[in-house]
């Protein structure tokens, strides 16, 4: 079966469900689609298709890149805030999935619980894409892998160090890196390390590469090609901000920490970032930061994903 046939109609709930070859195919497609846009070529394989985008949390990148992306592919995007649809008033996810399947060609959802995304996918007859949950952010990691590939060439054999909270980004990076043969080291304080079952799951995909969890940022960053950080308090944890600032005080990505990585190391962040907290201004706005190219690649990677799943 070709990748095209293999991916058509699938969901993306976590990258754990995709093989290394399928991820590599999506990254190649993303590059092709990016080049078309850079060359001004009109490419509209999703003419007449509609993507519904359910948001229970805020978003700049995910919302705009999906909405612009489906439009550029010839289709239409519908922004569905959970405050405005009946989900917010208690209509079951399963009913919502069945109803929306009659109108749409794909659903992207950003919410809290991964279980809700699984329920949506189980009851929908159209592809469901996870646009971030408390546990995973697979679309971000597709764009991140595309960015790393553009900057470093081959993925296999590289080392990525993630410094900070063992959150949705840490989880999805562990899975994506393990699948693609990138060594990944997560440095997080005790009590904030990635979920053990997700770490074990990521390790099960490692094919010659390493998944390391440590509380020592210097150990993680040693010889890294990519240094990654994310906010200390994710969406839904705003009330823990002060507590987390204390817990993560020694987990800031700054010039000193960066000096332990390879000279050519790049800095990545899914954004939004808090300058002066998880990363200093010198680093995020410095010459080794690729955060805005990374953000742009959300558009290209997700267009590839929509073409593959909804085409």
> What are 18's two structure tokens?
């995709």
Query: Does 168 participate in binding ligand CP (rule CB under 6 A)?
Result: no
Query: Does 62 participate in binding ligand CP (rule CB under 6 A)?
Result: yes
CA-based R_g, the chain, Å: 19
Which residue in the set 180, 270, 301, 310 belongs to the binding site for ligand NVA (CB under 6 A)? 270
Instruction: Give whichever of 163 and 231 is closer to ligand NVA, judged by the CB atom.
Output: 231
**Residue 121 contacts residue 128 (beta carbons within 8 Å):** yes
Instruction: Give whichever of 53 and 206 is closer to ligand CP, judged by the CB atom.
Output: 53
Rounded distance between C-alpha atoms, residue 198 and residue 175, angstroms = 8
Instruction: Give whichever of 206 and 305 is closer to ligand CP, judged by the CB atom.
Output: 305
Rounded distance between C-alpha atoms, residue 105 and residue 120, angstroms = 14
**Residue 113 contacts residue 87 (beta carbons within 8 Å):** no
DSSP E strands, 123-251: 128-130, 159-163, 183-187, 211-214, 226-229
Quickly count: other Cβ atoms within 10 Å of residue 164's Cβ.
27
Best CA proximity match to 141, nearest among 105, 112, 179, 88: 179
List the single partner that 234 binds among ligand CP, ligand NVA, none, CB under 5 to 8 Å by kind. ligand NVA
CA 234 to chain centre: 14
Choices 2-10, 94-102, 230-238, 258-266 (CB under 6 A): range interacting with ligand NVA: 230-238
**Closest separation in Å from C-beta 64 to ligand CP:** 8
Which residue in the set 24, 99, 218, 235 belongs to the binding site for ligand NVA (CB under 6 A)? 235
**Residue 295 contacts residue 60 (beta carbons within 8 Å):** no
Quickly count: other Cβ atoms within 10 Å of residue 190's Cβ.
7
Starting at the edge strand that comes first in sequence, how are the strands of the sheet with 50-55 ordered?
76-81, 50-55, 106-110, 128-130
Provide the annotated active-site residues: 110, 137, 140, 230, 270, 298
Query: Does 60 participate in binding ligand CP (rule CB under 6 A)?
Result: yes
Rounded distance between C-alpha atoms, residue 212 and residue 230, angstroms = 18
Instruction: Give whichever of 22 and 293 is closer to ligand NVA, judged by the CB atom.
Output: 293
Q: Considering CB under 6 A, how many residues would be counted as binding ligand NVA?
A: 9
Instruction: Give whichever of 24 and 64 is closer to ligand NVA, judged by the CB atom.
Output: 64
Query: Does 82 participate in binding ligand CP (rule CB under 6 A)?
Result: no
Choices 48-56, 57-65, 74-82, 197-205 (CB under 6 A): range interacting with ligand CP: 57-65
CA quadruple 123, 198, 169, 293: dihedral positive or negative? negative
Which three-class secondary structure state does DSSP give residue 190? coil
C-alpha neighbours within 13 Å on the C-beta side of residue 44: 10
**Closest separation in Å from C-beta 270 to ligand CP:** 4
Residue 243-282 contact track with ligand CP, rule CB under 6 A, x = bound: ---------------------------xx-----------
Query: Does 68 participate in binding ligand CP (rule CB under 6 A)?
Result: no
**Closest separation in Å from C-beta 87 to ligand NVA:** 19
List the single partner that 247 binds among ligand CP, ligand NVA, none, CB under 5 to 8 Å by kind. none
Rounded distance between C-alpha atoms, residue 308 and residue 311, angstroms = 6
List the single partner that 60 binds among ligand CP, ligand NVA, none, CB under 5 to 8 Å by kind. ligand CP
Instruction: Give whichever of 130 and 234 is closer to ligand NVA, judged by the CB atom.
Output: 234
Contacts to ligand CP by CB under 6 A: 59-62, 132, 140, 270-271
Contacts to ligand NVA by CB under 6 A: 132, 167-169, 230-231, 234-235, 270
């Amino acid at each position: 079966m070709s990748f095209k046939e293999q991916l058509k109609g699938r969901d993306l709930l976590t990258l754990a469900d995709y093989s290394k070859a399928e991820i590599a195919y999506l990254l190649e497609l993303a590059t092709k689609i990016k080049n078309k846009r850079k060359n001004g070529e009109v490419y509209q394989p999703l003419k007449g298709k509609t993507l519904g985008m359910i948001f229970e949390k805020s978003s700049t990148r995910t919302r705009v890149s999906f909405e612009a992306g489906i439009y550029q592919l010839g289709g239409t995007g519908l922004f569905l805030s959970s405050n405005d649809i009946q989900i917010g008033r208690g209509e079951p996810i399963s009913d919502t999935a069945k109803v929306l399947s009659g109108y749409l060609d794909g659903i992207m959802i950003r919410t809290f619980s991964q279980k809700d995304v699984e329920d949506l996918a189980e009851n929908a007859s159209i592809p469901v894409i996870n646009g971030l949950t408390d546990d995973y952010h697979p679309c971000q990691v597709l764009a991140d892998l595309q960015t790393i590939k553009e900057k470093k060439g081959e993925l296999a054999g590289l080392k990525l160090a993630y410094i900070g909270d063992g959150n949705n980004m840490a989880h999805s990076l562990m899975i994506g890196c393990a699948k693609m043969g990138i060594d990944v080291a997560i440095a997080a304080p005790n009590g904030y390390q990635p979920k053990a079952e997700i770490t074990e799951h990521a390790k099960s995909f490692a094919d010659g590469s390493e998944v390391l969890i440590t509380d020592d940022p210097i150990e993680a960053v040693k010889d890294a090609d990519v240094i990654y950080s994310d906010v200390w308090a994710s969406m839904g944890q705003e009330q823990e901000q002060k507590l987390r600032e204390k817990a993560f005080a020694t987990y800031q990505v700054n010039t000193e920490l960066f000096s332990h990585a390879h000279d050519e190391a790049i800095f990545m962040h899914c954004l939004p970032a808090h300058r002066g907290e998880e990363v200093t201004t010198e680093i995020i706005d410095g010459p080794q930061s690729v955060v805005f190219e990374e953000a742009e690649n959300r558009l290209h990677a997700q267009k590839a994903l929509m073409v593959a799943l909804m085409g």
